[in-house]
A and B are shown apart, each in its own frame.
Chain A
Amino acid sequence: MEVAKRLWGYMRPSAWEYAVAIGATLGNSVIWIVRPWLLHLIIDDVFGQGNRGLLVPVLVALGAVGVVTAINATVGHWFHERAAQGAMVGLRSDVLRHAQRMPLGDVRARRTGEIAAHLTSDATVIGRVYLAFVSLVFAQAFRLPAYLAIMFAIDWRLGAIAVSSLPIHALMATRLRGTIRSASGRVQDAVGRLSAVLTDMVGGVRDIKAANRQTWAGERVAAEADGLWRAQVGLSLVESLRWVPNLLYWGIYMAIWAVLAGSVVDGAVQLGMLVAAGQYMLQLGAPVGNAVSDLSHMQIAAGAARRVFGFLDTGPKPMATATAARPIGQRGEVRFEGVSFAYADGEPVLRDVSFRANPGESVAVVGPSGAGKTTLTSLVLRFYEPTSGRIRIDGTDIAGVDASVVRERLGVVFQDSVLFDGSIEQNIRLGRDEISSERMVEAATIANAHDFITETEDGYDTHIGERGLRLSGGQIQRVAIARAILSDPPMLILDEATSSLDAESERLVQDALARASHGRTSIVIAHRLATVRRADAIVVLDEGRVIDTGRHEELYERCDLYRRLCDLQFLQPDTAED
């Protein structure tokens, strides 16, 4: 009920589309009921009693039924579609907004695929619930009683036959559908298995040829193809069950003639009535079957709705929103004061971390993997709140500042920057459309990206991302740098920005980074120490603790861990190069 009320809330904005859709559905139901009646009028009144005057009106009505059906099929559908989809725009927006508000770790913990499913398939299924509801109430619940009433009105025995056929219709609608669905599920599974094996084989074609395993590979594919074939033949057999309703109809047809032929001869029942009754019987299965499918749609949708609402209701632990959007970061001084952090019910990741990045200077954070380096940047970006301690920017505790204000003043380049499907320009801007094109080109130039961008066919309009041009790792990072400095932020965070690049592209990116951080406070996280040697200060983190702070030379002298990290890279000549 709770779920139903919330769903109702989403459909309200498209109320009038629903009104039209309901009207169309009702109209359609009326037509289904009227059609056979027209047959009765022709046979009994027009021809049986020779009422010539009625001929033309009835024929016109018959034609009109056809035309109205056609209009209904097209126009009615538009409104159905608009109504269903319109409601889901609201729901989908809520899901996305929620996903963007919840703590970053929760998004990952929840498996991004699951949230994406809320946005796509779940929402689509829920959208159908409205249509199923309309259909159930205004078509099925309307037609079925009408048919039965008409049957009883003609002759009680007809009514009895109709009523006794209902359970069979219902049974077929449920069982048949289930059986066919599971058989076609088996076909889908077989297709999935076949294409998984094929993907393996095509991907490994070189290895297979190199080891002469073609026959083996062929046999594996043949085995799956054989499974698919079997599943398909099975489905075709199961689908032949669709003939059962047909046989049922003919059975009923035979029954009504067997029972009522005598009455027609006696004149107790009109011939046209019997013919019309045949038509009604033919249609009787439809509302039963539709009602079953409407109900099952609603059930599936209710499940999806519960999932989505469950997601929307997960306490996003709303990040403390700021009291006032105070301007911060004009100077760009970042200070960590005794910051500790632990993920929900986990070991502390940072313990009492303190350091300072002076305006315009660069501070490098180094340490073995798992030392808490990336967590540190997440805290500055206010993806999480420190468990204790404070992070100040220009003296202001950022816990009291709206996250968006903090982020506005911070440019960030991640190790694995995400490119979005769209043009290069869109990827640099990320919606910041108020910034001039000149500035964008300037940012790209600083980021060493302008040259390769202008070399592509459409320049800044080149489509990149999933469906577009594939950029190399180095190119992606350079676009990301342009993105980070587009709004000219006073502070820059470089979180392993070059770790996954090869030597050649690393040089270009390093060069870009050096220029980008010029005049900005930068916090650099790096695995490779070669990149941080020139930092104004280096903070060595180990197991969440700051164990030393200083410049390269001093640290190499006095800090064992730092020296070990350096030596490891030095003595392992090959690691510095990959």
Chain B
Amino acid sequence: MEASALSTATTVRRLAAYLRPHWRAQVGAIVASLLVVAAGIPVPLLTKALVDDVATDGRLDLLPLVLAAIGILAVLTAALSILSSYLFTRAGARAVNVLRAHLMRHLFRLPLTYFRRHRRGEVVTHFTSDAEAVATAYHKSYGQGAASAVQLVVVVVVIAVFDWRFGIAAAAIVPVYMLIPWMNRRHQARASRRMQDATGHLGGLSTELVTGTRDLRAFNAEAWSLQRLRRSLREVLRAGIYQGTVTGWSYALNAVLWLIHAGIFAVLAEGIFQGTVTIGFALAMVGYFAWLDMSVFPLTAAYVELQNAVGAAGRLFRFIDTSGEPATAPGSSELSVPRGEVEFRDVGVAFDSGPNVLKDVSFKARAGEVTALVGPTGAGKSTAIHALLGFVRPQEGSITIDGRDISEVGPTQVRRHVGVVFQDPALFTGSIGENISFGRGDIDSARVEAAARVAHAAEFIEELPSRFETILGERGLGLSGGQAQRIAIARAIAPDPRILVLDEATSSLDAEAERGVMAAMSAGMSGRTTIVIAHRLATVRQADAIVVLDAGGVLDRGRHDELYRRCGLYRNLCDLQMEQTADVP
């Protein structure tokens, strides 16, 4: 079930909960930022002392004192700022890692159907950019934003203490300062999105035009591609100008600061001429207003980051709140599988109130035998396997292993005794050995090699320069389909499961590779209960029992010869393949 969206307030509160364990660092950081504010307050006054007392009144004896004070405050400010920033980052990044761990745990609880509805990249984004947005918010919004708000109030109060008229002016200016970024923020988001889209489009187009060059040339479409490139560039330019204008507006805020400068001098001019106000005071005021200007920016940034984080966290929490598959039944005893007999009894499966994908499916896979499931696409073969593995939960009937109902023991227990080879096994970045042992601590290198030998994988692995240490994956070695399958078989049999499931394990291989994998599979099957799904009937002809599925139900079961004689669908499936091959000469 997809979870529904959360309100902003709830999201912000839930995010805060992740910070709570790190409250000590958080409080330390806030105290440090408040001390930074405190250290900043006397600085304009010290400037005033320099101008009025030292320079104007000639009190050179004060000079070392004032300069020393400035030096100490500068060092203090730097040190405290560094400390607070460090603590904020630390607490935020830690909290986000806890969040990531939650996400990860949840990821594996989600039913497989979730991954059919959501693209891989989309799910990964939750861990990367969404989580990063939250981390930034922890730092900028929950941390520095709070500190800036305090700072803003303090500065206004300090100004007011010196001169209430300026205090009012300062309080009035703050909204103006906030207003422009506030109005700008939507544009800012839109501008950066537009820029990203434009450059993304340009990147995609460039790759496309280069990789598609054969087709473009074959169709004399060179001019057309140039035209498309130019159009894309025009959009990049427009997006750039838009973004520049929006950013320019933030710079335009500088104008306000200079107008304030002029204003302060204009207001104080008469007093200075009269001698009631000193120049140093005017300069100190200028200093305080400049400070005011500086403290508004982080506050707006804090708001923007919080907005981003709320969006990202909303997605994250919706992901976490999506209900997962049933966990292991609590308090259940170990599943022991001495023989490995699997039985489906009247199993019915339906997805999300749709029609039944499986209905009344009953069959028995006898211990040590090979049972094949055949049938046209959509007959429910893979669903049956998924039900056995606990990826889906049957609404009706039961599946037992050596007489024990698997819903009582939960999927984790079942999977411990069932080895699976899928049509498209996922290999992970890491060594071949790691891909076979799959991180199972009890499978040492001797067992890995033994499994590889049974799976006919050792032959090609031994030929690689680093053998079992060869790194696979994105930046590593790419394997052929047949080799990947053989590693998957080794992986499946390495823990020596009683039951082996081969789900279209050779369907995507060519004839040559298939032969090798078939040999590996028969070696892997020996002494195990095996359930085979295959599209190609040649693979299943030798099975001890064949179960013919059609539209979710069992149509017939038996051995090849009997089925060929009496089951129309089975004969059709066989003949279709025969005909296509007999069609050649």
Instruction: Categorize the interface residue count of chain B.
Output: 35 or more
Are B108 and A214 in contact (CB-based, < 8 A)? yes
Other-chain contact of B82, A243, A417, A483, A566 (Cβ < 8 Å): A243
CB of B183 closer than 8 Å to a CB of A:
no
Separation in Å of the B15 CB from the closest CB of chain A? 17
Are A556 and B50 in contact (CB-based, < 8 A)? no
Are B251 and A200 in contact (CB-based, < 8 A)? no
Are B124 and A199 in contact (CB-based, < 8 A)? yes
CB of A77 closer than 8 Å to a CB of B:
yes
How many angstroms between the C-alpha atoms of A97 and B226 in the bound complex? 8
Are B81 and A96 in contact (CB-based, < 8 A)? no
How many angstroms between the C-alpha atoms of A426 and B581 in the bound complex? 39
Separation in Å of the B434 CB from the closest CB of chain A? 9
Separation in Å of the B537 CB from the closest CB of chain A? 8
Other-chain contact of B100, A78, A221, A233 (Cβ < 8 Å): A221
CB of B230 closer than 8 Å to a CB of A:
yes
How many angstroms between the C-alpha atoms of A30 and B422 in the bound complex? 71
Are B67 and A254 in contact (CB-based, < 8 A)? yes
- Set of chain A residues within 8 Å of B223, measured between Cβ atoms: 431
- Given contacts A116-B207, A216-B440, A254-B67, whether A206 and B135 have CB atoms under 8 Å apart is no
B384-413 contacts to A, CB under 8 A, are 389, 391, 411-412
How many angstroms between the C-alpha atoms of A237 and B105 in the bound complex? 31
How many angstroms between the C-alpha atoms of A556 and B585 in the bound complex? 8
Are A78 and B241 in contact (CB-based, < 8 A)? yes
Other-chain contact of B51, A35, A213, A218, A275 (Cβ < 8 Å): A275
0/1 string, B188-222, CB within 8 A of A gives 1: 00000000000100111111111111111111111
Separation in Å of the B247 CB from the closest CB of chain A? 8
Are A42 and B248 in contact (CB-based, < 8 A)? no
Are B81 and A574 in contact (CB-based, < 8 A)? no
- Set of chain B residues within 8 Å of A46, measured between Cβ atoms: 269
- Set of chain B residues within 8 Å of A401, measured between Cβ atoms: none
Which of B88-96, B154-162, B166-174, B337-345 contacts the other chain? B88-96
Are B219 and A218 in contact (CB-based, < 8 A)? no
Of B50, B55, B221, B240, chain A has the most CB atoms within 10 Å of the CB of: B55
Are A240 and B85 in contact (CB-based, < 8 A)? yes
CB of A286 closer than 8 Å to a CB of B:
no
How many angstroms between the C-alpha atoms of A327 and B237 in the bound complex? 42
- Set of chain A residues within 8 Å of B74, measured between Cβ atoms: 246-247, 250-251
How many angstroms between the C-alpha atoms of A65 and B94 in the bound complex? 46
A516-551 contacts to B, CB under 8 A, are 529-530, 533
0/1 string, A28-53, CB within 8 A of B gives 1: 00000001000000110011001010
- In the complex, how many residues of chain A place their beta carbon closer than 8 angstroms to a beta carbon of chain B? 136
- Set of chain A residues within 8 Å of B219, measured between Cβ atoms: 407, 412, 430-432, 483
CB of B580 closer than 8 Å to a CB of A:
yes
Are B78 and A66 in contact (CB-based, < 8 A)? no
Other-chain contact of A196, B100, B256, B474 (Cβ < 8 Å): B474
- Set of chain B residues within 8 Å of A320, measured between Cβ atoms: none
Are B63 and A261 in contact (CB-based, < 8 A)? yes
CB of A265 closer than 8 Å to a CB of B:
yes
Separation in Å of the B338 CB from the closest CB of chain A? 20
Which of A68-76, A162-170, A300-308, A334-342 contacts the other chain? A68-76
How many angstroms between the C-alpha atoms of A576 and B491 in the bound complex? 30
How many angstroms between the C-alpha atoms of A572 and B539 in the bound complex? 12
0/1 string, B31-55, CB within 8 A of A gives 1: 0000000000000000000110011
CB of B514 closer than 8 Å to a CB of A:
yes
- Set of chain A residues within 8 Å of B536, measured between Cβ atoms: 573-574, 577
B127-180 contacts to A, CB under 8 A, are 127-128, 132, 135
Are B273 and A50 in contact (CB-based, < 8 A)? yes
Are A66 and B257 in contact (CB-based, < 8 A)? yes
Separation in Å of the A164 CB from the closest CB of chain B? 18
Which of A107-115, A133-141, A360-368, A453-461 contacts the other chain? A107-115
Are B258 and A247 in contact (CB-based, < 8 A)? no
Are B107 and A202 in contact (CB-based, < 8 A)? yes
Which A residue's beta carbon lies closest to that of B63? A261
How many angstroms between the C-alpha atoms of A165 and B48 in the bound complex? 25
B286-307 contacts to A, CB under 8 A, are none
Separation in Å of the B308 CB from the closest CB of chain A? 17
Separation in Å of the A34 CB from the closest CB of chain B? 11
Are A254 and B580 in contact (CB-based, < 8 A)? no
CB of A379 closer than 8 Å to a CB of B:
no
- Given contacts A210-B415, A566-B584, whether A81 and B237 have CB atoms under 8 Å apart is yes
- Set of chain A residues within 8 Å of B580, measured between Cβ atoms: 503, 530, 573, 576-577
Separation in Å of the B532 CB from the closest CB of chain A? 14
Are A104 and B89 in contact (CB-based, < 8 A)? no
- Set of chain B residues within 8 Å of A206, measured between Cβ atoms: 112, 115, 391, 422, 426
- Set of chain A residues within 8 Å of B419, measured between Cβ atoms: 211
CB of B13 closer than 8 Å to a CB of A:
no
Are B210 and A112 in contact (CB-based, < 8 A)? yes
0/1 string, A269-300, CB within 8 A of B gives 1: 00100110000000000000000000000000
In the complex, 7 of the A-B residue pairs with CB atoms within 8 angstroms, ordered by the A residue number, are A47-B273, A70-B255, A99-B209, A119-B206, A200-B473, A236-B85, A246-B78
Which residues of B come within 8 Å of A, CB atoms?
Answer: 50-51, 54-56, 58, 60, 63-64, 66-67, 70-71, 74-75, 78, 81-82, 85-86, 89-90, 93-94, 96-97, 100-101, 104-105, 107-108, 110, 112, 115, 120-121, 123-124, 127-128, 132, 135, 199, 202-230, 233, 236-237, 240-241, 244-245, 247-249, 251-252, 254-259, 261-262, 265-266, 269, 272-273, 279, 283, 389, 391, 411-412, 415-416, 418-420, 422, 425-429, 438-440, 473-474, 491-492, 507-508, 510-511, 514, 536, 538-539, 577-578, 580-585
> What 5 new A-B contacts, CB under 8 Å, besides A198-B123, A407-B218?
A77-B247, A104-B213, A202-B115, A228-B97, A573-B580
Q: Please provide the 7 A-B residue pairs with the shortest distance between their CB atoms, ordered closest to farther.
A: A431-B224, A204-B426, A66-B258, A216-B439, A74-B248, A73-B251, A66-B255
